[in-house]
Amino acid sequence: MRKGYLVLENGAIFEGVLVGQETFTSGEVVFNTSMVGYEQVASDPSYAGQIVVMTYPLIGNYGVNLNSMESGGLSLRGLVVRELCPDPEHHDSQMKMEEFLNRYNLVALVGVDTRAITRVLRTRGTMGGVITESITRKDELVEMARLAVQPPPGGYVLQVTCREITSQGTGPRRVVLLDFGAKRSIATSLAQRGCEVITVPADTDAQRIMEFNPDGVVLSNGPGDPRDCPYAVETIGHLVGRVPIMGICLGHQLLALALGGVTYKLAFGHRGANQPVKDLQTGRIYVTSQNHGYAVEESSLPGSEAYVSFKNMNDGTVEGLKHRYLPLMSVQFHPEASPGPQDTRYLFDEFIAVMDKESGRACG
């Protein structure tokens, strides 16, 4: 057993045991409240640059199935858990969580009071941190933690986006998925509904996207501050009014910026599979899966002819947008779930109906 520590930029230290091949990492420390889905959390590109604290105390109890991964690798910097199950039980399990960590060279700090860390983050807000095997130079570690929240030049999106254009699925509709760090389940959800999904890199311009003659464009989830992606905002601005658009998570924020809105950083974000949101048109409450640290400022929207379609029931933040005249829709949460409740998967069907209407297919 190797003793290890999580050191936060405010000087707080939490002791545990290091698991995995690495012994040091740094990043923005955030917490996730999901009870299941640790495979998908670990492989979600939206966690690029972050150390994720899982509040649910038992992680790894059903093992790891690589078919459940949301990307081809891991983008997060580290994992902090209360208890790592040594003997998982599930008929689909391919390996233990510890083997998974070693396979992808990810360090985890185990045996930590994760709820105590969460209380600090909820009180002080997310902050930088380091996982280390030594705390003899605490002042240096605190400074490293403080610097760990700084994004790389150009932001994290360009680090996690795809490098090549790919296609999956067949059907009467063609959708271009603009990949800002897309989860695989977004493309899968569209393909299952009769769409050919063409996934393109985040910096693909509007002209190239329109060359595919798409019935619609989906703006994916992704990591970091949406204001680090001015190239994407420009592209989206050129697409607005030319093709139906659906934004998810970061894609929702980028669409808001393209419409003239403003975004801001939340104190500790929404990360978990239990976020209640209200459909402002029907009054219905849905439980959603979320992973984001930024939100759209509602007061910045009225002049853009966009209006709020969903709101978070916990803090009143904007959870969705629609446009009064154009075929645009976006949600801050994840309609594909993965992991999480499937309450809002119908939004993909709604977007497909919009595409069919715009193309005239619905009348055929």
Task: State the residue for tokens 């510890």.
Answer: 98
d(CA 179, CA 72): 14
Contact 184, 339 (CB under 8 A): no
Bond from prior residue into 339 cis (ω within 30 degrees of 0): yes
The answer to whether residue 292 is catalytic is: no
Contact 193, 215 (CB under 8 A): no
Q: Residue 152 gets which letter from DSSP?
A: P
Residue 357 neighbours by CB under 8 Å, 6+ apart: 327
Give the DSSP letter string of 265-277: EEEEEEEEEEEEE
Q: How many residues does the structure list for the chain? A: 364
The answer to whether residue 363 is catalytic is: no
The answer to whether residue 252 is catalytic is: no
Active-site annotation holder among 270, 292, 323, 334: 334
Active-site annotation holder among 39, 70, 249, 323: 249
Cβ count near 256 (within 10 Å)? 28
Known catalytic residues are 249, 334, 336
